[in-house]
Structure 1
Amino acid sequence: MYGVALKPQLLRSLLREYIPDEKHSFRNSLDVSHAVSAVKTHHLLWEWAPSSTDQKLSDGWKSAVDAWVNRVSALASSSMPDKSWAGICLLGLTSQECSSERFLASYSEWFNKILSHMQPPSDSHFVRVASCASMSDLFTRLGGFPNAKKDGNSQASKLIQPVLKLLNEDSSDAFWEEAISLLCTLTNVFPASVSRHYDSNMNLSGELYSRIGLQRKMYSLKCYISSWLDHRILATTTLEAIGGLWFSTRKLELHPAIRSLIGSIVGMTALQVTLRVSTLLSFVPVSSGSWHSSSSWSSNASKYDASAQSHHTSADVTSKDSVSCCKNSHLDDHQDNV
């Protein structure tokens, strides 16, 4: 599906079958998920083609993307919550996947469409969550264009107050997670827009600080469990691969040096496994090791629950500390990933 001639056809097919117009409703909530997956997999919004491509094919692709953008914009402006939610989600996708030329020409319009759902009268809960997520996608892409820094700071400064007001109104974890992620994105990409609001939101600072801390603990728990599982999968896969290599070559006629190399690899692997198992058995009682493995989930979950119960009793901090914590949280997460 990577041919320039096929991508416009697939994009138009998605519009017909999965993205309804103003007169029709969604048949299934999975329609949006299917459309998102297809657009990302086949890069249907890139509008890039080799210089040797027929101009008619390029124009056809541009026309298909125009139809996509118009349909998505109409959905985002709909008064029906389900269509509005879908349009906002797809605007976030479009801001990530479209060509640089189209993004620079349209991001201001998309920004205003999403912002309208974050200002009073505010929309439903899931529309607000989608708005924060799509705004984060838009500003992440915008931060990659140095020539748009000035306008990006101007646009981002319009967003801080609506987000802080919504944080006062909506206390759900889903919204706070997306809103804090959006504030962290703005802090990293357009810090000047956030610094203007240091002294104007003292009442939110303690709650914001505690929620950010809670979010970091959730992320740390996910990283711990993921790294624990990845380590064991890697060890098992390595052992099986080297064992399979030795077994499959033991009856082959190989050069003595190659056979010696394979033997050395098998020997080092066996030594590593022996050291690992003997260390655990010698220094960690079997009962304690079993208890540790089985209780790691519950112990970390208990810490998380304790943090959740205490986040409302956090001491007051300044708004500058809240934004600084947000920035540090984002940097720490990148360090954890590394």
Structure 2
Amino acid sequence: MASQREPRHNAGNRMNKVMEGEADEDDFYKTTYGGFMEEEEDNDFDSGQEDSADEVDSDFDRSEVEDEPISDEENGDKPKRRKKGVVTKAYKEPSTVVKKPVKKSEQSVPKHSKPETEDQAKSPEKNRKIDDQDGPMRKSSRRSTATNSLLTSIRRKEQEEKHKKKRESGRKPPVGIRRLTQEELLAEAEKTEKKNLKSLENYQRLEANRKKTMAKKRTFDGPTVKYISTTMTVAPNTNNVDVEKVDSPLTNPDAKNKTSQNFVVFSHDAIFHDTFKWKRSRPRPKPFCVVTNKPARFIDPLTKIPYYDLAAFKKIREAYSLTITELKDGPTR
């Protein structure tokens, strides 16, 4: 009945979930504590737990009909087939080989499977058969890696060709525009040269007219006389101040007053002498004291009479006082 029965529509759907969980578990063992990688054969760590794990995994592939008791005759007629299960082992040294996740197509499980006894599960041939079943998985992973590398190289070549076409398209003229020949380029350059020469001539003509109309600054080559009038700031002189005569309060001595200054500048000395002519005066004779007949050293501010020393000054003042009294008294008879 099992051979004639149609397979269920949901047969094997749980197996996919188990395999996906196992793939995640493999990634965890690869990255934690330096990685726990599986080896092909590890005879040092074999236990009965592996058999129990295989038995549990094989339950997912059983059909409803397979759960019913099957006679010995049916078992004898059909060959025994080993179920593909998940093998978990103890700690193993990490290896360089990275096991890639298996495709769904390769995770398919035979439709008709039978439960195994404990004696068969513990037989030494079990590990060998499982390793033989892992062979196609490794071959398929290698095949997929080669396919991926081939596809990557093809994509890279396509990208390089696209970039090359873009660079070439940038150099080529746009569609609908014809590239000029050498003769046409030379003719165009000749026309441009003529236009430039005409514009240069117009510019030179306009520049010459501008220079003619521009007012020229008059320059003098000969000798000149300049009159300059300006204002300058002069600090007030506070050295000679009569305190008794000052009624108003003193202003700030640091204050500066403005005053006008006029200058006459001659460019040549000859013009200055020609403009201002004068004769040298004779030197004044040295005054002598009227009392001592010696060169006078002082002048009396009252009488304007030069004198030599203090004795001469007193005699001059005595004579002056006598003269004043005589003028007041009148002439004597």
Max radius of gyration: which structure? 2
Q: State the TM-score, normalized to the length of structure 2.
A: 0.22
**Higher normalized helix content (fraction of residues):** 1
Higher relative contact order (CA 8 A, sep 6+): 1
- Give the TM-score normalised by structure 1: 0.22
